[in-house]
Amino acid sequence: MFESLLPAPPDPILGLTEAFKEDPNPAKINLGTGIYTDDNGKTPTLDCISRSEKILAEKSTSGGGYLPMTGLAEYDRSVVELLFGADHEMVQSGRALAAQTPGGTGGLRVAADFIARTNPGAKLWMSNPTWANHNGIFTAAGLELGTYPYYDQESRTLAFDEMVTALKNVPAGDVVLFHACCHNPSGMDPSPAQWEELAELAAAQGFLPLFDFAYQGFGEGLVEDAFGLRAFAAKGIELLVASSFSKNFGLYNQRVGAMTVVAGAAEAAQNAMSHVKLCIRTNYSNPPAHGARLVATVLADAELRTIWEQDVATMRNRINSMRRLFVETMAAKTDKADFSFVATQRGMFSFSGLSKEQVLEIREKHSVYIVGSGRISIAGITSANIEPLCNALASVL
């Protein structure tokens, strides 16, 4: 059976990481993958996680049987509290319920299977552009896909009017995917006023919002970054959220995420969860325990939680300072392009505006790795590589 198979196309982002690893040039720079690195180019283990590991080791909780299909109960509770605030009526009443999933990708796939199962005719609308894996995840679940305009490459701004016009044509029952903050790949988010307008639109149109929340705390702050989904929740509409703790806890390889259902009442949320459980059972049965235990331990302990909030602020501030440094350094080197927009955007990514040819040239001549769309991972910039990076960029403009 396998002899006739041709190789599948490489993943556009993870394939680039493989090429980067194979490059023998010691001065190579990776702005491809979405992994946070510190100023030494290392992906740190957060202080709160090291302490949480110690607490768990002392408790020796790592053994035991399977977790429930929806994962650790205390973790699930912490997830909805982080999304909406611990005192929120939705959290207290039980009409917002989370299921622990293997990473944000797992949360998105569970959401996709849940939509396909409970609302088989629904079409899912994604921003153009969006994270490359969205297409694959929702297609794999059998959903029909559409796109709405999001980013204007010319003016480097949000194409808000075009977005609203397109969403006004989305019928009730369809699903609209939003990036809750730190839009990947553009780095452009709606303003609070624009989120309010989108929430009103969702309420009027009757479409189901699905939020991809992979970067809580990387934009403006843990609470500020939840503004969009909280604006929707305030309208009393149903919604879904896929959370990832890969970035904000630095737990990439532990696979820690969640899928949250917000319904009109607790009973409807429980009924929805019964379908979510079936999607999980027939996919991976139940999630892995350790990463969720680490996160739940941090969030339940006042001291560890404060340390985590500082850890997240440190990562956010570093990214934002690299954004400013990049703009200043490029401005000093060339007047062929204006990169000032990079400092106004948020999260790990921005579009550099480089063409496919320039992306290839900078890789071949300077070992600078950027994905074909020109998306750059700001978290890959350091005070040591900023000069060679900007020299290389300026040379291909």
Ligand X SMILES: Cc1ncc(COP(=O)(O)O)c(C=O)c1O
Task: Provide the annotated active-site residues.
Answer: 131, 212, 247
The binding track of 218-257 with respect to ligand X, each residue x by CB under 6 A or -, is: --------------------------x-x----------x
- C-beta closer to ligand X: residue 179 or 346: 179
In the range 63-92, which residues lie near ligand X by CB under 6 A?
Answer: none
- C-beta closer to ligand X: residue 103 or 217: 103
Task: Please choose, out of 102-110, 219-227, 230-238, 301-309, the segment that lies near ligand X by the rule CB under 6 A.
Answer: 102-110
- C-beta closer to ligand X: residue 125 or 330: 125
- C-beta closer to ligand X: residue 246 or 329: 246
**Least distance from ligand X to the Cβ atom of residue 246, Å:** 4
In the range 160-189, which residues lie near ligand X by CB under 6 A?
Answer: 179, 184
**Least distance from ligand X to the Cβ atom of residue 136, Å:** 12
**Least distance from ligand X to the Cβ atom of residue 133, Å:** 7
- Please pick, from the candidates 158, 175, 214, 233, the single residue that binds ligand X as defined by CB under 6 A: 214
| φ/ψ (deg, to 5) at 127 | -70, 150
Question: What is each CA distance from 214 to 34, 196, 252, in whole angstroms?
Answer: 11, 21, 11
- C-beta closer to ligand X: residue 28 or 255: 255
**Least distance from ligand X to the Cβ atom of residue 303, Å:** 26
Q: Does 34 bind ligand X (CB under 6 A)?
A: yes
| Residues at the site binding ligand X, with contacts judged by CB under 6 A | 34, 103-105, 131, 179, 184, 212, 214, 244, 246, 257
